[in-house]
Amino acid sequence: LMNLEVNYLLSIESKGIKLGLERTKALLKQCSNPHNSLKCIQVAGTNGKGSTSAMIANIYRVAGYKTGLFTSPHLIDVNERIRINGESIHNNDISKFIKRYKHDIEKTDSSFFEVITVLAFWYFKNNNVDIAIMETGLGGRLDSVTCCNPIATVITSLSMDHTEVLGDTIEKIAKEKAGIIKKNVPCIMVHNDCDYVFEKKAKQLNTEIFYVENDDKLQLSPALKGDCHYQNSGLASKVIEIINNKNISKNHIKYGIENVIWHGRNQTICNNPFVVFDVAHNENGISSFLNYFNSINHSGDRKLIIALQSRKKIVACINEIEKSFDQIICTETNNARSMKAKTLSKCFKVNCIVFENDNKALKYVLNTSVNNDSIAIIGTHHLGDAISNNFNI
């Protein structure tokens, strides 16, 4: 059950995003700088950073390390963002933190993301984790997670997303992501259109970049279907190799990657009818999802339920979406930044069905589908609530 402190934490979200590290550093100082002595791996990028973080964490976990994992956003509960060995932080730990530091949170005027990042550092330090895998929220240079002192940094694939904050060219976005590169700390990344941006930054900081190609020798977890995850699994195994943890074997890497559980990524929710959920919310992510969806043999109708956050742009993949589905249902979540379903429907040239309520959209599709139909639900983590209301997951 929600308690006062958890509600307080969630209420800060209405303040919106604040970029810059000064508030995070001030709040960390009040908490005795837990990040300074925490062994971290920082992961940034546009697509795949959550699943890459989950794979790295799972490798450490199966090798017997006490492993912290910080990711965002959450699907159902805010607690999911902070886990140790797969177990979410408890409400009473959140309460303890808020009670102790509420005055400092208000004095520093910290945003929701800044508070939850500091909470993660504090919780991992208090619980003496051996390693913390920290997923960057937005960009890199000005993201709270960048306050950490990592033993390695990881950068996944880049694409145009959050352009209103990070810049409207891939080069500007690359400059923001390159902000996580630290002096003498190895950086493991995939090739992007802007390799030169990262190489310039690495040279300034005397840092070596290790590039990773797709690794299709590793068996992927059933939870992570789709070709893009071969790239992510390649990053995960390369990090371990570069850090050179002697007590992590090839078997630990193999088992860790094969058995990772990561919800909301090509996640099969139901088999009759086939229902798959993916949080893809930008052009690259959606294209990647469609590659996976179209590789499946569908005998019945193919239906899409889509909801997006208000600033998302999907113009480049509209044709691809329309070709992939017989029916498109546009909806919206109860999140304050959700795009209106009607607005979303205007992006399409075909007729869409519009539901202003995501629960009703799901109920409608389930009630009008037969067993051999295929239903894709995509666009935002905020659909997690409606999915958990309508399915036993």
Q: Read off the pLDDT of each residue in 384-391 and give the average, rounded to a whole number.
A: 87
Q: What percent of the chain has pLDDT over 90?
A: 60
Quote the radius of gyration of the chain (alpha carbons, Å).
Answer: 21
Question: What is the band of 393 on the pLDDT scale with cuts at 50, 70, 90?
Answer: low
User: So what's the pLDDT on residue 332?
Assistant: 94
User: So what's the pLDDT on residue 167?
Assistant: 56
Angle between helices 195-204 and 170-177 (to 10 degrees): 30
User: So what's the pLDDT on residue 235?
Assistant: 93
Residue located via tokens 């992570």? 224
User: So what's the pLDDT on residue 261?
Assistant: 81
Antiparallel, parallel or unpaired: β 302-306 and 374-378: parallel
User: Where do runs of H (alpha helix) occur along the chain?
Assistant: 4-11, 22-30, 49-62, 91-108, 112-126, 163-166, 170-177, 195-204, 228-243, 250-258, 283-294, 318-324, 341-345, 358-367, 384-390
pLDDT greater than 60 at residue 120: yes
Residue 371's CB is within 10 A of a number of other CB atoms, namely: 10
User: So what's the pLDDT on residue 101?
Assistant: 97
Q: What would the pLDDT profile of 73-103 be if each residue is shown by its tens digit?
A: 888 889 999 999 999 999 999 999 999 999 9
Residue 85 Cα distances to 36, 129, 187, 321, angstroms:
21, 9, 25, 37
User: So what's the pLDDT on residue 320?
Assistant: 93
Cα 330 to Cα 342: distance, rounded to the nearest angstrom: 7
Nearby residues of 279 by Cβ (< 8 Å), 6 or more positions away: 75, 264, 265, 285, 378, 379, 380, 381, 383
Question: What is the band of 385 on the pLDDT scale with cuts at 50, 70, 90?
Answer: confident
At residue 310, what are phi and psi to the nearest 5 degrees?
-60, -25
Of the candidates 283, 128, 142, 294, which has an alpha carbon nearest to the alpha carbon of residue 227? 294
Q: Is 168 helix (H, G, I), strand (E, B) or coil?
A: coil
- Residue at 271: amino acid letter: N
Decide if 224 contacts 265 (C-beta within 8 A).
yes
Nearby residues of 32 by Cβ (< 8 Å), 6 or more positions away: none
pLDDT greater than 50 at residue 1: no
pLDDT greater than 60 at residue 315: yes
291 or 219: which carries more pLDDT confidence? 291
pLDDT greater than 60 at residue 391: yes
User: So what's the pLDDT on residue 355?
Assistant: 96
Question: What is the band of 149 on the pLDDT scale with cuts at 50, 70, 90?
Answer: very high
Cα 173 to Cα 171: distance, rounded to the nearest angstrom: 5
pLDDT greater than 90 at residue 356: yes
Question: What is the band of 109 on the pLDDT scale with cuts at 50, 70, 90?
Answer: very high
Q: What is the rounded (10 degree) CA torsion for 223, 130, 36, 201?
A: -50
- Name the burial class of residue 25, with classes exposed (0-12), middle (13-18) and buried (19+) by CB atoms within 10 angstroms of its CB: middle
User: Which tokens sit at 80?
Assistant: 């999911």
Q: Is 345 helix (H, G, I), strand (E, B) or coil?
A: helix
Measured CA angle at 209 (ends 207, 214), to 5 deg:
165
The overall average pLDDT reported for the chain is: 89
User: So what's the pLDDT on residue 300?
Assistant: 93
Decide if 292 contacts 320 (C-beta within 8 A).
no
Q: What would the pLDDT profile of 16-42 be if each residue is shown by its tens digit?
A: 777 889 999 999 999 999 999 999 999
User: So what's the pLDDT on residue 65?
Assistant: 96
Of the candidates 259, 45, 263, which has an alpha carbon nearest to the alpha carbon of residue 170? 45
Cα 19 to Cα 143: distance, rounded to the nearest angstrom: 6
pLDDT greater than 90 at residue 246: no
Q: Is 337 helix (H, G, I), strand (E, B) or coil?
A: coil
Decide if 42 contacts 134 (C-beta within 8 A).
yes
Phi-psi region of 244 (alpha: psi -120 to 50; beta: other; left: phi over 0): left
Q: Is 384 helix (H, G, I), strand (E, B) or coil?
A: helix
Cα 359 to Cα 389: distance, rounded to the nearest angstrom: 8
Q: What would the pLDDT profile of 186-237 be if each residue is shown by its tens digit?
A: 999 999 888 999 999 999 999 999 999 765 666 666 556 555 667 888 899 9
